[in-house]
Structure 1
Amino acid sequence: MTDTETAADSGIRARIVEAATRLLREQGVRGVTTRAVSQAAGVQAPTIYRQFGDKDGLIDAVAEHVMATYVAAKSETAATENGDPIADLRAAWQAHIDFGLANPGLYALLNNPDRAGHSPATEAGIEVLRARVRRVAAAGLLRVDEARAVAMIHAAGSGTVLALLGTTPADRDPGLSDALFDAVTAGILATAPATTDPGPTAVAVTFSTVLADLPALTDAERALMAEWLTRSLTHLRHSTTR
């Protein structure tokens, strides 16, 4: 295949994905039929099968496209002007809620357990959340380990979207999102930086964020120290649940 043919093929694929995305947003999953997409994209039905294999392949491509666009937009606004890591985390939470409510069909696809575990775009979205949580940890404001914080925020955010989508717009509680964010962060954030109000978990979490930058340590020493920190955090996590 020549470069010209490859470019043309990519253009057709992009046009099909854009048409299917538009139909999905306007009509939901049921509106994304091969006939409807081919008409909207101005291609023959066999072209869709050649490009994507089947309808499921097309739906996956649409979901990946929209999620990738969303993740890119979140990454571009990775920090607030005042550099407040908690404000950044809240902004990321609200962006997630807004996206889910604006794209219910796509959100359901992106959070389908059958595809979420192997979706590069979904993982990229979680990676953005990890970066926000890392900033909170580096500021000494996290009192659980980073993995636990990411898991709690991700689970709560997804649950919030599903709860709101399960309610008619007129009956939705406008304060539910903020209330749940506050409830989750109350369980994971320290009341003061670890440097002023030290606790073993907060100190260990904060120290782990700077471990890679410590001078005069070999890679083996850093790896050993990271293992000690991970072991300590695991022990602290288990001891608080007994």
Structure 2
Amino acid sequence: MSSPRVDGRSLRFQHRRPELLAAATEYVLEHGVTDLSLRPVAQALGVTHATLLRHFSSKDGLIMAVLENIRTDLAAQWASDTELSGARSTAELVKAGWKRLCEPKQQRQFLLLFELVGHYGWKPDRDRDLVESVVEDWIAVLADRLGRDGWSPEDSTALATLLLAQVRGLQLDLLVSGDRERADRALDFAVRLLDRPTA
């Protein structure tokens, strides 16, 4: 029985995948996905089109890898941020997180999310991984924190869904209007609802 054939070119670039993914993530965050094509991405990253295909298989594969990279990077940043990891309540966590998410470099992820939804539509049956990455994972994080604040599991999930929708809706408002003061006031009003787990 012969052993499976190994593609030497794939092995040669295997160690470069994290580097390529980080660079591709920056490219996608700066240029969006509406007119995304692998050849310009490859040229910008200084690799061949074939190299990108070996690592990501297709444009959709690259986009999914970028979204997962954004999610894991953000989760790692939040875990290492002492203000966020040391938040004594969900309200503190949401307020501190909002401040981080309003930084221009972080806001790019919302532009990308809105572009994906607007351009490609949303098909939960087809885009199961995407749904998990941008919706369910964050609801789970917020629901867990709410549970530690005394909310029931059912209410935690509902309230986490509401919080996630508010943050994303306010980010859309902020990106369009630029009115940070009004968006901040709206978020402060929303987190007041978190103080009454027995209501």
TM-score scaled by length of structure 2: 0.72
What per-residue deviation string (whole Å, max 9, x for no partner) do you get for residues 60-87 of structure 1?
A: 1111111210012112334337x35532
Write the distance in 2 (CA, Å) between the matches of 1:56 and 1:202.
45
The answer on whether the counterparts of 2:20 and 2:45 sit within 8 Å (CA) in structure 1 is yes
Match of 1:57 among 48, 51, 61: 61
Task: Give me the TM-score of the superposition, normalised by structure 1.
Answer: 0.61
Number of residue pairs matched? 183
Q: Distance in 2 between matches of 1:72 and 1:95?
A: 13
Give the aligned CA root-mean-square deviation in angstroms: 3.3
| Corresponding residue for residue 85 of structure 2 | 79
Alpha-carbon distance in structure 2 between the residues aligned to 1:32 and 1:162: 22
2:97 is aligned, of 70, 92, 100, to 92
**Structure 1 residues 133 and 186: alpha-carbon distance in aligned structure 2, compared to 1, 3 A threshold:** same
Render the CA deviation track for 1:99-118: whole Å, top value 9, x for unaligned: 65244443336767446753
Alignment-derived partner of residue 118 in structure 1: 129
Match of 1:219 in 2: none
Report the CA distance shift for 1:130/1:110 in structure 2 as closer, same or farther (over 3 A).
Answer: farther
- Higher mean displacement: 98-107 or 109-118: 109-118
Q: Based on CA coordinates, which of the two structures has the bigger radius of gyration?
A: 1
Amino acid at match of 1:21: T
Match in the other structure for 1:213? none
Q: For residues 216-235 of structure 1, what are the alpha-carbon distances to aligned partners after superposition, in whole Å with 9 as ceiling and x for unaligned?
A: xxxxxxxxxxxxxxxxxxxx
Residues 182/88 of structure 1: CA separation in 2 closer, same or farther (3 Å cut): same
Q: Which residue of 1 aligns with 2:188?
A: 182
CA distance, structure 1, for counterparts of residue 114 and residue 158 of structure 2:
24
Matched, 1:202 2:186: no
Instruction: Quickly say closer, same or farther: Cα 1:126–1:93, change in 2 above 3 A.
Output: farther
Q: Match for 2:148 among 126, 135, 154?
A: 135
- CA–CA distance in structure 2, aligned partners of residues 162 and 10 of structure 1: 38
Residue 179 of structure 2 aligns to a residue whose secondary structure is coil
The 1:126/1:147 distance shift into structure 2, 3 A limit, reads closer
Q: Could you say if the C-alpha distance between residues 85 and 60 of structure 1 is closer, same or farther in structure 2, counting changes exceeding 3 Å? A: closer
Could you give the per-residue CA deviations for residues 21-53 of structure 1, whole angstroms, max 9, x where no partner exists?
222233332564212221233322122223222
Kindly indicate whether the alpha-carbon contact (under 8 Å) linking 1:96 and 1:157 is maintained by their aligned counterparts in 2: no
